Amino acid sequence: MIRSVRPLANVSSRIAKRNLASSSSELVSIELPASSFEGYNLDIPELSFETEKETLLQMYKDMIIIRRMEMAADALYKAKKIRGFCHLSVGQEAIAVGIENAISKEDTVITSYRCHGFAFMRGAPVKAILGELMGKRTGVSYGKGGSMHMFAPGFYGGNGIVGAQVPLGAGLAFSHKYRGQKAAAFTLYGDGASNQGQVFEAYNMAKLWNLPCIFACENNKYGMGTAASRSSALVEYHKRGQYIPGLKINGMDVLATYQASKFAKDWAAQGNGPLVLEYETYRYGGHSMSDPGTTYRTREEVQHMRSRNDPIAGLKATLLDKGIATEEEIKSYDKAARAYVDEQVASAEADSPPEAKMDILFEDVYVPGSEIPVLRGRISDDSWDFKNKTFLNKVY
């Protein structure tokens, strides 16, 4: 069901190929501002680097698709076609996009419940993500996980328990080291999760065992509805590792995020052990769809971030400034992204919900072929017979 490549990350590839066939692989020089990085017991990445024009275009297309997808989820939720919890990442797109364009498919990614963009970047189609939100059988988790539990190849969720994914990420890093892979596990969590004890336990194990774990705090300034300064004695989250080097990154700049993520991947792949990253970012909406996001911050603050620091607008300015794309070409990318997401929304809405069959509840408990004969339930009548796909209704 899930393809291993971003299905329409190249949503405008036909346009790009037509207009940039001879120049898309050309290198372009990037000069990041000095404020992009701040190191802790670490030399910061180079501020000057080169990358392909094609990569810059791809990152722009990735971000506009994610934003369109999140806006579609917003509308579907308000139309009551999505129920339950729903956490959107509008404003934070540069992190998922910067990381994915900097790493390989051998690397692993795990995050918290604000996960739709990461699922897309790791290969889940927009239709499958939106279908999951609407509880459809064609959803990325067969309609069973909803907003907070999405998976894709090399992407281990989407985890609903605050901070619980951090030790899991250390486990992924252990797997890379055990297998002798030159790969890293990007383990993301929010500023609201940064004070969890399991985060510090994972730091300790990763350093003790020299694991290729990139602990990455997405600091969007507000854990739920609480400002970071009211919940954390130390808000410089990149220094939280203490004995682990850290790096603070302007997470509203996809180019800074991309360069830092490449640096972190290389650091871990070379056997240097873990790093603690802090992507300083901002969410435009509330913590979830049930939070208006205006009771603990002003509308002026949100508008200031939108107008001065938007990651999509920032990369668009770079594309125009360096002559990589024209205004008309960018408009065509935006139009293509809108049309693609609209088509994916319609397709997901038309899909069916899971059938009302009991065996669906048990199909993901074991890998097919490895099931035990009977899975005992709460009472004897709940005991499930995997072979006959029915309840035993047998009293013990």
Counting as low any pLDDT under 70, the low residues of the chain are: 1-25, 395-396
How confident is the model at residue 214, as a pLDDT? Answer: 98
* C-alpha–C-alpha distance, residues 170 and 176, integer Å: 10
Predicted confidence at residue 215, as pLDDT, reads 98
Number of Cβ within a 10 Å radius of residue 200: 16
pLDDT in tens, 241-270: 999 999 999 999 999 999 999 999 999 999
User: So what's the pLDDT on residue 396?
Assistant: 61
Which architecture does CATH list for 13-354? 3-Layer(aba) Sandwich (3.40)
Q: What is the pLDDT of residue 6?
A: 42
pLDDT for 333: 97
Radius of gyration of the chain (CA): 22
Query: What is the structure's pLDDT at 12?
Result: 41
Write down the pTM of the prediction: 0.90
Q: Over the stretch 335-363, which tens digit does the pLDDT of each residue have?
A: 999 999 999 999 999 998 888 888 888 98
Q: In what order do the strands lie in the sheet with 108-110?
A: 37-40, 246-250, 275-280, 213-219, 185-190, 108-110
Could you state, in order of their start, the residue ranges of all structural domains in the chain? 13-354, 359-391
Q: What is the dihedral of CA 53, 55, 60, 63, to 10 degrees?
A: -170
> Among candidates 60, 37, 62, which has minimal Cα distance to 48?
37
